[in-house]
Structure 1
């Protein structure tokens, strides 16, 4: 058993000596945010609270240690800082008297949500709830500790994207679990590469469920949104949310996984939907998969795929066979014929060639394989639903918490930056080979750079109100024109619109908002201000322009972003910008 006095409160491993931890470098006497629990606090006479891992509008998440089992845990505290506060060193929460009814309403929703998750503890692909209890005028939830990394970090280690074959291996179990979660009446609303963990066993686990107000703008608590992954209905408290909201989130996640790019933010697409299909960015994505993902990303909820089950069936159903559609597009379109004395004889009339037989055999195998995959997924749904129905009437679990990775509290997403310099790619391919010029128009320029190494590509950038940033507008040589290796092709690449409407910053941290501005090529300056108007430290208070006001990107108009900082001054500033 670990000696409590030698426990590192940063990683919950036993230290070998006094001073900073040898494993993580954390010092137990390190300063902490006064609004949150002090490291070393004991909850329910059982759980030791460690370092603060993350916080958002709903509450805070800490690393913890269970004295009974001797295992690491994750501690989640209901603590909406717009409705309550805490004095440093005092674990008791003080609720604003004028906000007490709302505080209790949200706390009731917080408890009911996690009770539902506790009942679903037999589902292996969500973070398991171990305990729920009231204390300090609030509520706490104890989760298993998952040892792993976020899907976002996992993708960074895999060159930014995965193949469809790899996705078919990883995602079916978590899709099954998500469908069952929906059957239990639970909606996540924050599915993204930041809220999916990859465990040491290469399994996916969904984490960080929140109450609805925590992931919807216009509510009384600060919302945590994931630009590119949050559905458009989450940007208005007047819109209906449901299973289709999570369909959007998982579809956006699949888009990111297969292309290496974050889809255009839904709120930005409402005015001008220029989000390219996955197969435009990555030509190895099967066309039917690309179309299903885009149907999961429909802005109109009535036109969007409604359930995870429907999404799974459409993703894994066998498409109609079309050789040109099934084969990945290759840079070599045509090769000039070399005459020889002996030509291969055509297959005799009335008989099938070996190639035709092989193609038919391959098609049969593909159909059988797809049927098997669908059958396995459907059977998985049925088994999991049965297990869920017959298990659990208690409120605690002795599940051994073996794994954990801290969720990222700051959610900043942006598409890969487009290069601003001309790109030259050479090749040593034999000069007598003739190619058909590929179709570059409509593709993402960064994907072209890495794929077509047999031609010389140069890029010119220009503003365009109808084409998304980084997408090729036109090319100097028409598609399918015969070209030789090393031919120069000039591309015109979009820098996005010359002017934009200033995006909404409500509920966003300054780094989240400035990342959004950078994605839209808006120059900005950050300034701290103590005139917070009740906004939490680190969050945007106001801008030099009103939300929805026009910003002239082409003329490099700069926007000043004011963020809350206790004791701060508007004189302290930092300037950032992105240019093409």
Structure 2
């Protein structure tokens, strides 16, 4: 086995310049939290544990290294948050007494999930899992490391923020086969989102490693993470039960996000208003049979939703006759003003006759109005010089909707005719680390307030995460370097490096001074680690006494 002591615990490249990796910038003097496995822990005599990458409600994912095939991997440890812990002096998991039964049940679910994923390795949407190790009182799934980008990031990089159905179809349809296979093995995914669907180099969409089903149910002892817009109603603590239709809801929401460019409203909010709204300009580009499938997949209540993956696939792949029927049945998903744009091509002659009748009626109405105006103005029946008293109409009022939290974009608001008649909208941009770019996250008038028609509402649109270029602070004093970085909004931490006497103490190292490296783009608020020369180290030999020599 290759000597892994001199490998970076993040990217597993050879360390060539001290503890800070020249490839990824990770400082290998950094240790995992004491509750996690120590860096360079060995599992099954061949899998090397690296730094913690992600902590979820049921598990911890580490960067790992397979010493046999000498390749980077992911190691996913079953470690339910709030239920399990680990003492500082060992690797064994300690389970809180009140959760012993739950731990055993969830551990079995983890085993079932990852043995199933290992069995389904030949399906195109499965991230390859090639081993499951039992150690330290828990299980470890060994997952192949693949280069990928989350679907959400891919969509945000797209110029329009959304994609066509022709493109989406090639990406999404193979995933249905994998979801169907999970259901056949008694597993409900429970957390399908644009962040958990990843696009790989081969153009295929994979299901990224995901938690056990219980982690997606608010009624269990595991920490519940809501994915607003993608979490189905039954996943909240209520009388409805999680089932295969739960995954159909979240998968439909992902297709909606890909085709529309915005998150669907949350399932909880849709209990009060269950109308699926798609901006006119976008809806015209989506085939009606696909809209019908989304309507069926995004039904709020699971008992009304499409029940099986096979039925959902059939709706998405509808035959021409079904597509025509969908176009008639589901025009109501358009926003106001979208209807009426689809002529009946099967009855062209009848359509011409109807148009002719309409034009005759329009001409007669216009003529009647003109005659009435003439009578009023010129017949002398009304005294135009006499003051007329009119009663002013009462000012209309409207209740302000919740524009925040539903994933609305500026174009969503601008394309909603009803809202634009009721309110005057002003848009402003602001950086946000919590809200993806293009999504509205603030409104100047609170939702639920009743205001006069025409009231101005200022909506703040996220400009995404604010970034800055990391400056070159090599050779500067720590004070000057810190000031320069903090003025740009970065947080600063330091790592002391050996000073052989040729450097001034408390100055930044001359090479590989920072992580992230100088010139790279980093988020404002991110931590920049500086390597700083310490005080010159001197050694003084102890005096040799006569008694010591005797001894």
Q: Same fold (TM over 0.5)?
A: yes
Distance 1:91 1:117 in 2: 26
- Structure 1 length normalisation: TM-score? 0.58
Name 1:71's counterpart in structure 2. 71
Secondary structure at the residue paired with 2:268?
A: helix
Considering fraction of residues, name the structure with more helix: 2
Distance 1:274 1:100 in 2: 44
Distance 1:99 1:145 in 2: 33
Given candidates 445, 453, 465, the residue that maps to 2:413 is 445
Aligned-residue RMSD, C-alpha: 3.9
Q: Say if 2:81 is the partner of 1:136.
A: no
Q: Say if 2:161 is the partner of 1:193.
A: no
Q: Which moved more, 1:294-303 or 1:169-178?
A: 169-178
Distance 1:73 1:523 in 2: 49
Task: Answer yes or no: is the 8 Å Cα contact 2:83–2:103 preserved in 1.
Answer: yes
Taking a change above 3 Å as real, the CA distance of residues 203 and 273 of structure 1, as seen in their structure-2 partners, is: same
**CA offset digits 1:231-278 (Å, max 9, x no partner):** 110112643222111100110000000011000011221233354147
Name 1:236's counterpart in structure 2. 237
Secondary structure at the residue paired with 1:302?
A: helix
Task: Answer yes or no: is the 8 Å Cα contact 1:190–1:215 preserved in 2.
Answer: yes
Name 2:37's counterpart in structure 1. 37
Distance 1:513 1:491 in 2: 24
Q: Say if 2:191 is the partner of 1:246.
A: no
Q: Structure with the greater relative contact order (CA < 8 A, sep ≥ 6): 1 or 2?
A: 1
The runs of 4+ residues in structure 1 deviating greater than 6 Å are 321-326, 511-515, 551-556
Give the CA deviation at 1:165.
Answer: 1.1
Distance 2:201 2:14 in 1: 21
Task: Answer yes or no: is the 8 Å Cα contact 1:278–1:285 preserved in 2.
Answer: no
Name 1:376's counterpart in structure 2. none
Distance 2:18 2:223 in 1: 39
Name 2:514's counterpart in structure 1. none
Name 1:223's counterpart in structure 2. 224
Taking a change above 3 Å as real, the CA distance of residues 554 and 63 of structure 1, as seen in their structure-2 partners, is: farther
Taking a change above 3 Å as real, the CA distance of residues 228 and 324 of structure 1, as seen in their structure-2 partners, is: closer
Distance 1:51 1:278 in 2: 44
Query: Greater Rg, structure 1 or structure 2?
Result: 2
Taking a change above 3 Å as real, the CA distance of residues 275 and 519 of structure 1, as seen in their structure-2 partners, is: farther
Name 1:48's counterpart in structure 2. 48
Taking a change above 3 Å as real, the CA distance of residues 552 and 79 of structure 1, as seen in their structure-2 partners, is: same
Give the CA deviation at 1:181.
Answer: 2.4
Alignment size in residue pairs = 376
Name 2:274's counterpart in structure 1. 273
Name 2:210's counterpart in structure 1. 209
Write out aligned runs for 1:262-341 (5 A). Answer: 262-277=263-278, 281-320=282-321
Distance 2:309 2:423 in 1: 40
Distance 1:297 1:137 in 2: 40
Write out aligned runs for 1:88-487 (5 A). Answer: 88=88, 90-159=90-159, 160-236=161-237, 238-277=239-278, 281-320=282-321, 415-416=406-407, 418=409, 444-445=412-413, 448=415, 471-474=416-419
- Structure 2 length normalisation: TM-score? 0.61
Secondary structure at the residue paired with 2:304?
A: coil
Taking a change above 3 Å as real, the CA distance of residues 521 and 308 of structure 1, as seen in their structure-2 partners, is: farther
Task: Answer yes or no: is the 8 Å Cα contact 1:279–1:290 preserved in 2.
Answer: no
Distance 1:211 1:220 in 2: 13
Task: Answer yes or no: is the 8 Å Cα contact 1:191–1:246 preserved in 2.
Answer: yes
Give the CA deviation at 1:163.
Answer: 0.7
Distance 1:319 1:224 in 2: 40
Secondary structure at the residue paired with 2:60?
A: strand
**CA offset digits 1:196-227 (Å, max 9, x no partner):** 11111111101223222201113211022311
Give the CA deviation at 1:93.
Answer: 1.4
Task: Answer yes or no: is the 8 Å Cα contact 1:37–1:91 preserved in 2.
Answer: yes
Give the CA deviation at 1:130.
Answer: 1.1
Distance 1:29 1:179 in 2: 45
Secondary structure at the residue paired with 1:177?
A: helix
**CA offset digits 1:312-354 (Å, max 9, x no partner):** 111121344769969x99x9x9xxxxxxxxxxxxxxxx9xxxx
Q: Which moved more, 1:292-301 or 1:79-88?
A: 79-88
Name 1:499's counterpart in structure 2. none
Distance 1:287 1:494 in 2: 33
Unaligned runs of 5+ in 2: 329-333, 340-348, 350-403, 428-432, 452-456, 458-551
Secondary structure at the residue paired with 1:171?
A: helix
Unaligned runs of 5+ in 1: 334-349, 351-412, 420-442, 449-470, 477-489, 496-510, 525-550, 557-580
Secondary structure at the residue paired with 1:444?
A: helix
Distance 1:93 1:134 in 2: 12
